[in-house]
Amino acid sequence: MRPNLTIAWLYGTKMNIYGDRGNVMALAQRARWRGIEPEVVEVGIGAAMPDADIYFFGGGQDQEQVAVSRDLSGAKGDALKANVAAGAALLSVCGGYQLLGHEYRPYDRDPLPGIGLFDMVSEAGPERFIGNVVVESFLGELVGFENHSGLTHLGPGLDSLGTVRVGRGNNGKDGTEGAVWRNAIGCYLHGALLPKNPVLADWLIGAGLRHRHGDVSLADLGPLDDTVELAAHRTGVARAVRTR
């Protein structure tokens, strides 16, 4: 059986900075290398939320977040939350991550409502965090690049993605980076993140396959040769340590 997999790319034209489109390319290509037929659906302003197996929601500047926040409020955001609650996988980065909390408060404009998928609140801080980041996560070491002024504070019951070894993370104070709820992950790791962190890419693909096909495991589809990806990961970590 050549299982198929639907990847929904949320607001790909508005929320796509610092290489984030590379995450969609990595998910689709790692699926293809395993004989999976991925379908990538771009979901723009005004389009209905599809019932996908994996969602990707990238980063964007405050002004892009205004229109996206408005579009996500109501039934569209509710549909995304329901699909994730039902087991769909999701990766969100920075501006997309912020809009999946209860609210994002930009510096110079009214607060933007989020959809409350993650029990957290974000607000623009006085300093922009820019630099390489290394995180000790539940999946092991992850490496990426952050560029945000937003400070994210997790609610009491929300798990972080991990702790920051290099960089600032959620808020530069509590040592956390990102958030995890069911098969949804939010973080501040641009880069693109997934090409340099194959363990996370495969975690998302595995969750998406289980959501779609129940019993299909990534292990059944065989390992990939990640020599190049892991070399890129090591280079990123070395650069982060050198430039901290």
Cis geometry, peptide bond prior to residue 192 (ω within 30 degrees of 0): yes
Establish if 172 lies at the interface with ligand GLN (CB under 6 A): no
Residue 187 a catalytic site member: no
Q: Using the minimum distance from each CB to ligand GLN, give the nearer residue, 109 or 244.
A: 109
Task: State which of positions 81-140 bind ligand GLN (CB under 6 A).
Answer: 94-95
Establish if 149 lies at the interface with ligand GLN (CB under 6 A): yes
Count of residues engaged in binding ligand GLN, rule: CB under 6 A: 12
Q: Tell me how far CA of residue 103 lies from CA of 5, 17, 122, 215, in angstroms.
A: 31, 21, 6, 36
Which range binds ligand GLN by CB under 6 A, 4-12, 57-65, 72-80, 217-225? 57-65
Q: Tell me how far CA of residue 126 lies from CA of 17, 93, 108, 167, 215, in angstroms.
A: 21, 20, 11, 17, 48
User: From the CB of 233, what's the least distance to ligand GLN, in Å?
Assistant: 21
Instruction: State the CB neighbour count (10 A cutoff) for residue 31.
Output: 27
Q: Which of 14, 30, 148, 211 binds ligand GLN (CB under 6 A)?
A: 148
Residues 6+ apart with CB under 8 A from 226: 198
CA atoms within 13 A on the CB side of 26: 25
Establish if 59 lies at the interface with ligand GLN (CB under 6 A): yes
Q: Which of 39, 42, 51, 62 binds ligand GLN (CB under 6 A)?
A: 62
Q: Which of 148, 187, 190, 233 is catalytic?
A: 190
Establish if 19 lies at the interface with ligand GLN (CB under 6 A): no
Q: Using the minimum distance from each CB to ligand GLN, give the nearer residue, 5 or 189.
A: 189
Which range binds ligand GLN by CB under 6 A, 32-40, 112-120, 147-155, 170-178? 147-155
Establish if 17 lies at the interface with ligand GLN (CB under 6 A): yes
Residues 6+ apart with CB under 8 A from 86: 211
